[in-house]
DNA sequence: GTAACTGCAAAATATTTGCATCCTT
DNA sequence: AAGGATGCAAATATTTTGCAGTTAC
């Protein structure tokens, strides 16, 4: 477990608990793909299912992680890259889902392009998910 | 029920059944938003849940409707606009989710813009979902 | 000590599968 | 008549809620 997990929790006004440290550390360990609830449950089988759901919710509310909704109906979460804050995400990057390894990753360097919408719509947030084969599975 | 429902089914090599006609007609009636399984279940309460799931799957396979996966975890479906065929969707338009009325609609006239991905990825499909307030709820 | 966090039980919702029966062609 | 479509039962998966007990600060 990272030493810094507790620092990060403190810095974001969350009480430091074992569950939170373990879950947050997982996100730092795992640099490849976004994590599903079930991934976390498998790796931290000492934690209750419900605790994991609630922790993911809190982390998301605090701007530590952001949810990614894929076409397989399972919500994944990935670390926010610094510019998110409590109650407001700024993750305007593209997400990539690989249908070979079923991993979802953030393409942090790829910005979501602007779209022209008729003025009758008010835009709050844009999600862009690209499906295909990732760098690891392409071979 | 549209007379044309049975025509469309025939034209796409599907046997013409009461369930399929009713479900397909719903999609033609409903011009505003995409339909969830539960919407259909409510409106056609003579049909079995499972039949609705299977019918949506078949329609999607045949290119009549396309699935839209939103961040609320519920799959919605909307009519394809003519250029889709069996086994291959071409719905490269933007989808819009209104968080006031919870409706999802296709913005058929708004194309998904091109994105530059590093060559290490193979792209198969792109989804773009915009959240905000729709034309009906804006007031 | 108090408020927040966790675990357990249970419920709600979404979706899938197997099988026997019915309907379309 | 044959094969596909449907209905029913049941299983699986995901997520939420309530409450009582525990822990962080």
pLDDT tens-place string over residues A1-23:
555 899 999 999 999 999 999 99
Q: Which of A83-92, B38-47, B52-61 has the lowest mean pLDDT?
A: A83-92
Helix residue ranges per DSSP H, chain A: 4-11, 18-29, 37-43, 49-62, 135-138
Q: What confidence score (pLDDT) does residue A138 get?
A: 83
Q: What confidence score (pLDDT) does residue B75 get?
A: 96
Contact present, A23 and A40 (Cβ < 8 Å): yes
In chain B, % of residues over pLDDT 90: 78
Quick check: A121 and B129 CB within 8 A? no
- A122 or B90: whose pLDDT is higher? A122
Contact present, A131 and B124 (Cβ < 8 Å): yes
CA A64 from centre of chain? 8
pLDDT band at B34 (very low <50, low <70, confident <90, very high): very high
How far apart are the C-alpha atoms of A27 and B83, rounded to whole Å?
Answer: 41
pLDDT band at B3 (very low <50, low <70, confident <90, very high): low
For residue A130, what is the domain's CATH number? 1.10.10.10
Per-residue pLDDT tens over the stretch B60-100? 999 999 999 988 889 999 999 866 666 666 778 999 999 88
Residue with CA nearest to D4's C1' atom: B15
Contact present, A84 and A90 (Cβ < 8 Å): yes
Quick check: A69 and B67 CB within 8 A? no
Sheet bearing B93-98, strands edge to edge:
A104-111, A93-98, A122-133, B122-133, B93-98, B104-111
Q: What confidence score (pLDDT) does residue A89 get?
A: 67
**Chain B contact set for A89 (CB, 8 A):** none
Question: Residue written as tokens 């569950």?
Answer: A19
**Chain A contact set for B129 (CB, 8 A):** 126-129
DSSP states of B42-101: HHTTTS-HHHHHHHHHHHHHTTSEEEEE-TTS-EEEEE--S--BTTB----EEEEEETTT
Cα four-point dihedral sign A3, A5, A6, A11: positive
Interatomic distance B42 CA / C12 C1' (Å): 17
DSSP bridge pairs for B111? B93
User: What integer is the mean pLDDT of A43-72?
Assistant: 95
**Chain A contact set for B67 (CB, 8 A):** 71
pLDDT band at A71 (very low <50, low <70, confident <90, very high): confident
Quick check: A132 and B114 CB within 8 A? no
**What's A124's DSSP letter?**
E
Per-residue pLDDT tens over the stretch B111-138? 999 999 999 999 999 999 999 999 999 8
- Tokens, residue A91: 């993750």
What is the β-pairing status of strands A104-111 and A93-98? Answer: antiparallel
- Tokens, residue A136: 């690891």
Tell whether B131 lies on the interface with A, counting CB pairs under 8 A.
Answer: yes
Please say if the pLDDT value at position A86 is more than 80: no
How far apart are the C-alpha atoms of A73 and B55, rounded to whole Å?
Answer: 19
> Where in the sequence is the domain holding A53, given as residue range(s)?
5-138
Q: Which residues have CB under 7 A from strand D? A: A 10, 15-18, 36-38, 49-50, 53-54, 57, 73-75; B 14-15, 17-20, 46-51, 54-55, 58, 73
Q: What confidence score (pLDDT) does residue A82 get?
A: 66
**Cβ of residue B38 lies below 7 Å from strand C:** yes
Total domains present in chain A: 1
Contact present, A86 and A61 (Cβ < 8 Å): yes
Residue with CA nearest to D3's C1' atom: B15
């Amino acid at each position: 477990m990272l030493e810094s997990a507790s620092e990060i929790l403190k810095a974001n006004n969350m009480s430091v608990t074992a569950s939170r440290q373990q879950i947050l550390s997982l996100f730092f360990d795992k640099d490849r793909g976004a994590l599903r609830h079930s991934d976390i449950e498998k790796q931290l089988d000492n934690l209750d299912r419900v605790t994991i759901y609630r922790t993911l919710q809190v982390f998301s509310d605090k701007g530590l992680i952001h949810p990614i909704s894929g076409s397989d109906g399972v919500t994944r979460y990935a670390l926010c890259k610094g510019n998110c804050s409590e109650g407001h995400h700024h993750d305007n990057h593209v997400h990539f889902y690989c249908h070979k390894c079923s991993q979802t990753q953030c393409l942090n360097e790829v910005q979501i392009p602007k779209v022209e919408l008729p003025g009758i719509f008010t835009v709050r947030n844009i999600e862009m998910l690209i499906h295909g084969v990732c760098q690891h599975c392409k071979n």
